[in-house]
Structures are given as C-alpha cells and as structure tokens.
Structure 1
Amino acid sequence: MTATPSQPYSPMVARAQRLPHRSRRRRAGAVTSTLTLMGLPLLAVIALPAAFTGGGTRRWFGGRAESQRAEAQTAKDDAAAAFYELDTAQRDLRISIETIAAVDSSPAARRAVTDFDALGRRIDEVSHQYISAVDAHDLDRDDLEASAAAHARTELTAARTELGRVKQELDRFAEGLGPLLGKAETQLARLAPAVERARQALLAASNALDAARGSGLRADDLATRLAALGPELTRLNQGAGQHGVPQTLERAERVTREAEAVRAEAERLPERAAEIGHRLVSLRTRAQALTTRTEQVEPVLSELRRRFTAACWQDLQHVPDQATESVRQAERKLAEAQAARDEQRWPDATALLSTVRALLNSTDEAVSAAGDRLRQLNAVQKDPQQEIERTRFAIRDAQRLAMAGRNTPEARHARPLDEAVARLERAITTLEGRHPDYWHFLTETEAVRQTVAHVVAQIREERGAGH
C-alpha cells in the first residue's frame, strides 16, 4: 500500500506500508534456507514443482484453505481501510486542535488539547494491534493452512473492530469541538483584516502628520506618539505565529485606535491653531470689558451703603479688589497662553485658556452680584408684598398637594410646611422699624421656597412610586 502524492506524510501509515516488504523478505529467506539445508542444487530446486505435480503446477491445499484465505484477505482489506480512515480523521482533527490551541487559552481549550492527546495514545494502541496482526500473518504463502487463515481473519477482524470503535470516539470528540473551533476560526478570520487596518491607520496618520507639517505646524507631540507605534508595527509584521493570535489581534486593534487618534488630531491641527488664536482674542476682549465693569462696582456699593443697612451690602465690600486682582491674573495667563500658542504647545495653550475663562467667569459673577443686589433691594423696598405673596402661594400650593386624596397630611410633609409658614411670618416682621433688613428678608423668603420645593418633590416621588 503506497501513499499517493496527495496524501500527507503519516508515520503510522508509513510503518504500515513497509510491512508487506518485510514479510516477503522473511518468507524468501526462509525458503532459501530450507533448500540449502536439503543440499539441492538450484536447478533441482527449479524443477521441484514439476516433479511433484507430474509436469504441472498447482497449490498443495484444496478449496477450504482457499476460502479461508479469501476471507482473511477481506478482513485484512477492511482493517486497512479502517486504519487509513482513522489516520485521516486524526490528522484532520489535529489541524483543528492546533487552530484552537493557537487562538484560545481558556480552560476549555486546554482541556480539549489534553483530551486529544489521550485519544492519540488510544489510537496508537489500536494501530499497534492492527500492525501486529498484519505483520503476524502472510496471506500470500502457498502453504497457508486453513487454520492459520482463520486465525488471521479473527485477529484482523478484531483489529478492524477496535479501529472502528476508536474512530467513533474520535468523531464524537470532534463534534464536541464545534463551539471552540468556531470561536477560533472566527478569530483567525479577523486576524488578517485587523492587521491590515492597523497598517492602513498608521499610513493615514503619517500622511496627515506630513500635511500638518507642510502647513507650517511642527506637531512634535503627535510625531512622538506616532513614532512610539513603530515597534508595534514590527511585532504585527512578525505575525501571530510568534506572538499568538489573541495578542496579535489586541495589538492590531490598539495600534488602529492610537493611529486613528493621531490622524484625527493631525487633520484638526490647523483648525485647532486657528481656534486657539480666536479664543485668545475673545478672552482678551472680555478681560478688558470686565476691567471697565469692575470700575463701576464702587458707585453701586456707595449707593447700597447710603440707602440700606450694613447687612445688605457688607458681603460685597471685597468685590472691587478681588475683581481687579482676578482680571490681572487672567491677563497674565493670557500672556502665557499666547507664548504657548507661538511655540505650538497646543495642550499648554488650551489648558491656560481654560484657566483664564474660569477666572473671568467668577469675576463676572462677582461684579454682577453688586448690581443684582441693588436691583433686588430696590424692588423689595418699593413693594415687599409681591415677594410675600409669591412665597405664600408656593406654601399654599404645597399644602394642597399634601392634602390631595387625604383627610390629614402626612406628618413628615405637614411639619416642614408649618415651619415654612412660621419662618415667613418671622421674615415679614424684619421689615418693621426705621431700618428694615431687606436682604435678610429676601434670603429668608428664598430659603422658605426651597424648603417647600423639597417637600413637593418628596410627595411626588413617593406617590410616583406607589406609596
């Protein structure tokens, strides 16, 4: 039995293919030794068949021996077919196992490799049984006895049966590998496209960086980030065989993400430079406007001092000085941001501009607070009743909600509402006398409305939850 060029090499098959030649050599040697012992010359040896057959040739044994020989030969052919079928299945399954082992390191995958090794040892055992049976019986002997042929058939049939049984075990094992193999093949199918995407992303990032530099922008930080991906590309080119499929997939995806980030930033760099320049101009203009507004705070404070009690304006005394200092600090940060912009240190410039904006926002709120305070105090001095009615309406609305569908409100709702009523009445009394504390009145009414709003939210939340 000679393997065709299309069949892959298998040590088990090669061993089986050598057996007939060894059997023939042993048989020829035995015949030669026997004739030599008899002391017959070669010509006499050639003439022996004719002497015994009366001039013709025939086998020494009759029909029963030939029938047993044929049955034994059939058993041998069937065992050989089973042997090659098992060997082919084992080789095919080994490819699947190697695929799983290359991709998957989970406990299930490791267990599959171990189980396949155990099956391999079982296959070696039954293959040895088959090869031994073939090696033990020469069915081409002219003097093969019927009993020897029957014995050969029995052993070869038993070998074929064991080969078939192990083949069934191998088939069942292969069926159980379906999910693992599917997962592994999916990852392998992702591998080549993922690596190619990484290469293309790196190329796109390099082209975008070249374009940014061509417009006069250095982009040193982006160039450093892109250069750091060079060793990763080398590892990708070395392949999954050296670094493993899961690791190569993860590396390809990470390189793609980082390269795409570099490309996006490089493409946006001219726009970012223009945006930073625009923000510098805008914030510088805003700082100048705040300087003018800060100068107007002092006249507002003078009017507050002249018309209202100290409690109404004392917390605003520090606003002019603090606003002036905040604007100065913002202007220093603007100068630093301009230097960072000129040196193309884009992250530094962006961070400094964010600091400037925060400083100007807080200054704007402080400067606005003085004017807002004067407007509020003017309104409540002219008509405090409007503020009172606004607060009472909020309380009554909450009380109606607390009583909805009930004869008496829940204590946890009624108590804070009753306290809100009493607090409002106390605030109203602060308006009596020659120098009413309007600011205390306003802060108290605001606090009462916040308490009432909290109770309303609590009631709605509880009823929405079905309580």
Structure 2
Amino acid sequence: MALALLPVPLLLAAAPAAFAGGGTRRWGRGRGENQRADAQAAKDAAAAAFYELDTAQRDLRISIETITAVDPSPAARKAAADFTGLGHRIDEVSHAYITAVDSHDLDRDDLDAGAAGRARTDLARAKDELVRVKADLDRFGRSLGPLLATAETQLARLAPAVERARQALRAAGEALEAVRSSGLTADDLAARLAALGPELTRLNQGAGQHGVQETLQRADRVLRQAEAVRVEAEGLPEKAAEVDKRLVSLRTRAQALTTRAAGVEPVLSELRRRYSAACWQDLQQVPEEAAHAVAQAEEKLREARTARDEQRWPDALARLSTVRALLNTTDEAVSAAGDRLRRLDEVSFDHSKEVERTRFAIRDAQRLAMAGRNTPDPRHAGPLDDAVARLDRAVAGLEGRHPDWWAFLTETEAVRGTVTRVVREIRDDRGAAGR
C-alpha cells in the first residue's frame, strides 16, 4: 500500500517545481524581449536624429557655399569658420552614434536583458547628443538669414546681368555691321569690340569658375563697353556728315578771313595818319599774324581732310578744332583793327558820352553804397572815390595836340569795371546779412 501511494506526493512535489521553472523561463523571455524592443526603439530614434542632423548639415552647407561664393566680407568668412567648427562637433557625435550602433547587435538570439539595457542607454545618449548638435546647427542657420538673403539677391542678379551683357555685345556687332555696309570701316570700333571677346568667354564659363562678384563686375563692364561701341557705331554716319560739313564751312571761313585780313593794312594806315602811335602800335603785327594763322588753318584743314578720308575720326575732329581756334583768334585780331578805328573816331569826335556813361555808373554805385546808411562802408567808399579821381585824370589827359584817345578809352572801361565789382560786393554783403 505504501508503494502504491508513493507516486502521488512525488507528482505533487514535482508539479510546483515544474510550474516554478516554467514560469521563470517565460517571465525571462518576456522581459528580455521588452528590453530588446526598448533598445531597438532607442536605435531607431538615434538613426532618425542622425538622419535629421545629416540633412540639416547638407542644407546648411549649400547656404554657406552660396554666401562665400558671393560675399567676401569678414562676416561671411566668420560664418564659414563657424560652420567648419560645427562640422567638427557633428563629426564627433556622428562617430559616437556609429560606435554605439556597431557595439550592440540587437539581432543576436542570445541578447540578454543587461546587454539590451546597455544598448538602449548608449543609443539614447548618442541620440541626445545628435539632437543637441542639431539644435545648435538650427540656431546657427537662423543667424545666417541676412547674409543668405544678400547672397541670394546677388545670385538673382547674376543670370540677368550676364544676359544683358550678351545682348549688348550682339547689338554692338549688329550696329557695327550696319555701319560697315554703308562704306565706313570703323576699324577702331571693330578692334574695341573684338577685345571684348575674351570677356564673353569668361562670362560663359560662369560664376563657378570666376566667382559671383567678379562675374557681375565683368558683366557690367562688358555691358558698358559694348553699349559705348553700339552708340558710337550708330552715330558714326552722323559724325562723318558733321565732319564733312565742318570741313566745307571752315574752308569757306578761312577764305573769307584771308580777304578780310587784306583790309587790315588800309585801316592801320588810317590809324597812323590820324592818331598817335599809342593808339595803334599794338595792332602793327595783325596783318602778318593773320596771314600766318590762316596759312596754319589751311594746313590743318588738309590734315583733317586726310584723316577724314582714312576715317580717323578723332584725328579729324582734333584738327578741325585747331582750325576753328586759329580762325577765331585771327577773326578777333582782324576785327580789332576796324573796331579800334571806329571807337577812336567816335570818342575823338565827342568824348562827353564816354565820360557821362562812366560818371553815371559811379553815381549809381554811390547811391547804392549809401542806401540805408548815414555813411558808406569804407571798403566801398574808397574804390568809388578813387574811380572818380581816375576819371578826372583820364579827362585831363586829353589836353594837348595829340591826345591818347585809346588810353582814355581803356581807362574809362577799367573804371567801370572797378565800379561793377564794388556794386557786386555791396549786393553780396547785403544778401549775406539778409540770410
């Protein structure tokens, strides 16, 4: 009977042991799986943080490259240096993340809870560092706003500026072709346009090779120079017509002046006969000087004609300007002789008009000097009193058999000049006081 009853207690004794053992193993697998899942979640979170940081760094690198390509300022250089420093930090936390990932194989069948927990801790720490550096990178990116806006504005100008330069070159070439088809060679303009060829090549190579700022400056320079060539080419037919017109006009004038200069000698003879030497001796060389000046003008006209035929427009215009200056000077000298005789005849016949004209100017200035004052300002009274004395002396100098009428005229003119200066000073002083 005892043997029959033995298996029951053994079964009862074995059953709790079996329950306890099985329960412990099932609980262990569940906890290990949870730890593995937590570690995997930490790994996924770290991977997401790593991806976000890498993406942000790539985007920001484009911004930095945009800024440094356009902006050579100290602020731009500092931004590039700061980005490099952040890059070193990113490398460090990225290395730590990769090390954490490589150190823990979460797919191992024998991964225990402790190993899974350590993996979760390491990966969570790596993720936190990645997130922290990403936040610093985001703050740095926001600080680049003004620099990036300026750089993008410059870049937005680049393509239109280059295209405008190309269009200007095309327009200059078309204008030059049209001029040449009319028979004008325009060799100098063609050379200037050809010199822009290498610049166009550099523009076509782009900002990637030469930089944004340099490309913008080159585009502006090409635009201005090509536009100048176009304008000059379009104006060349008109310039040629103007040169032709001036050649004819100045030649006609030189011929007329030759005729007029021949009439100076009779005028000088009349001056010598009727007036003292002081009235005409400064005009003695007028006929000879006029003939020499006209001969010079005619020589320059021939040179201008040659330059025009060879289409050397600057040379032609320069010589025509010289001709005009020579003829102007000669015309004044020739006119001076006849004018001298006329004025001397008028004043010798009746000098009272000249005297009265000068006295009137003095009295008018004196009234202005006294206006609103009891006594005149010495700065004004002195020159006006001296003007009165000078006029009296000039009139007294007319006494005698052969008065120097020309000295009289030049002195009265000088007196009126002094009076005019005093009047201007009075009005300037009062105008300043009124302000």
Q: What TM-score, normalized to structure 1?
A: 0.81
Which residue in the other structure is 2:280 paired with? Answer: 313
TM-superposition CA deviations, 1:272-310 (whole Å, max 9, x none):
222211111111100011011111111222222222221
Q: What TM-score, normalized to structure 2?
A: 0.87
Which residue in the other structure is 2:361 paired with? Answer: 394
Q: Distance in 2 between matches of 1:52 and 1:268?
A: 111
Query: Is 1:348 aligned to residue 315 of structure 2?
Result: yes
Q: Distance in 2 between matches of 1:252 and 1:365?
A: 51
Q: Quick one: structure 1 residues 269 and 62, their matched pair in 2 at CA, closer, same or farther if it must change by over 3 Å? A: same
Is the CA contact (8 Å cut-off) linking 1:427 and 1:445 kept in structure 2? yes
Q: Quick one: structure 1 residues 148 and 282, their matched pair in 2 at CA, closer, same or farther if it must change by over 3 Å? A: same
- Secondary structure at 2:433 match in 1: coil
Which residue in the other structure is 1:287 paired with? Answer: 254
Q: Distance in 2 between matches of 1:230 and 1:239?
A: 15
Q: Quick one: structure 1 residues 83 and 380, their matched pair in 2 at CA, closer, same or farther if it must change by over 3 Å? A: same
Which residue in the other structure is 1:8 paired with? Answer: none
- Secondary structure at 2:403 match in 1: coil
Which residue in the other structure is 1:296 paired with? Answer: 263
Is the CA contact (8 Å cut-off) linking 1:226 and 1:262 kept in structure 2? yes
Q: Distance in 2 between matches of 1:435 and 1:230?
A: 77
Query: Is 1:208 aligned to residue 175 of structure 2?
Result: yes
The AA in structure 1 aligned to 2:409 is L
Q: 2:291 aligns with which of 324, 342, 352?
A: 324
Q: Quick one: structure 1 residues 422 and 59, their matched pair in 2 at CA, closer, same or farther if it must change by over 3 Å? A: farther
Which residue in the other structure is 1:339 paired with? Answer: 306
Query: Is 1:432 aligned to residue 432 of structure 2?
Result: no
Q: 2:44 aligns with which of 69, 72, 77?
A: 77
TM-superposition CA deviations, 1:336-384 (whole Å, max 9, x none):
1112222222222111111111111111111111122122222222332
Q: Distance in 2 between matches of 1:382 and 1:209?
A: 66
Is the CA contact (8 Å cut-off) linking 1:291 and 1:327 kept in structure 2? yes
How far apart are residue 207 of structure 1 and its match? Answer: 2.0
Q: Quick one: structure 1 residues 400 and 131, their matched pair in 2 at CA, closer, same or farther if it must change by over 3 Å? A: farther
- Secondary structure at 2:28 match in 1: coil
Equivalent runs, 1:56-205 vs 2, <5 Å: 61=28, 69-140=36-107, 148-205=115-172
Q: Distance in 1 between matches of 2:377 and 2:117?
A: 102
Q: Quick one: structure 1 residues 200 and 452, their matched pair in 2 at CA, closer, same or farther if it must change by over 3 Å? A: same
Q: Distance in 1 between matches of 2:159 and 2:125?
A: 48
Is the CA contact (8 Å cut-off) linking 1:403 and 1:409 kept in structure 2? yes
Q: 1:380 aligns with which of 343, 347, 351?
A: 347
Q: Which moved more, 1:84-93 or 1:157-166?
A: 157-166
Structure 2: state its 5+ residue gaps: 1-17
How far apart are residue 447 of structure 1 and its match? Answer: 1.4
Q: Quick one: structure 1 residues 139 and 277, their matched pair in 2 at CA, closer, same or farther if it must change by over 3 Å? A: same
Q: Distance in 1 between matches of 2:355 and 2:92?
A: 101
Which residue in the other structure is 1:411 paired with? Answer: 378
Q: Quick one: structure 1 residues 250 and 58, their matched pair in 2 at CA, closer, same or farther if it must change by over 3 Å? A: farther
Q: Distance in 1 between matches of 2:263 and 2:93?
A: 103
Query: How many residues are paired up?
Result: 417
The AA in structure 1 aligned to 2:248 is V
Is the CA contact (8 Å cut-off) linking 1:394 and 1:449 kept in structure 2? yes
The AA in structure 2 aligned to 1:163 is L
Which residue in the other structure is 1:39 paired with? Answer: none
Q: Quick one: structure 1 residues 188 and 331, their matched pair in 2 at CA, closer, same or farther if it must change by over 3 Å? A: same
Q: 2:325 aligns with which of 338, 358, 364?
A: 358
Which residue in the other structure is 1:247 paired with? Answer: 214
Q: Quick one: structure 1 residues 125 and 457, their matched pair in 2 at CA, closer, same or farther if it must change by over 3 Å? A: farther
How far apart are residue 147 of structure 1 and its match? Answer: 5.2
TM-superposition CA deviations, 1:401-444 (whole Å, max 9, x none):
33333333333333222222222222222222222222112111
How far apart are residue 171 of structure 1 and its match? Answer: 2.2
Q: Distance in 2 between matches of 1:138 and 1:52?
A: 33
- Aligned-residue Cα RMSD (Å) equals 2.8
TM-superposition CA deviations, 1:10-46 (whole Å, max 9, x none):
xxxxxxxxxxxxxxxxxxxxxxxxxxxxxxxxxxxxx
Q: Quick one: structure 1 residues 140 and 63, their matched pair in 2 at CA, closer, same or farther if it must change by over 3 Å? A: same
Query: Is 1:229 aligned to residue 182 of structure 2?
Result: no
- Secondary structure at 1:409 match in 2: coil
Query: Is 1:370 aligned to residue 327 of structure 2?
Result: no
- Secondary structure at 1:465 match in 2: helix
Q: Distance in 2 between matches of 1:374 and 1:400?
A: 35
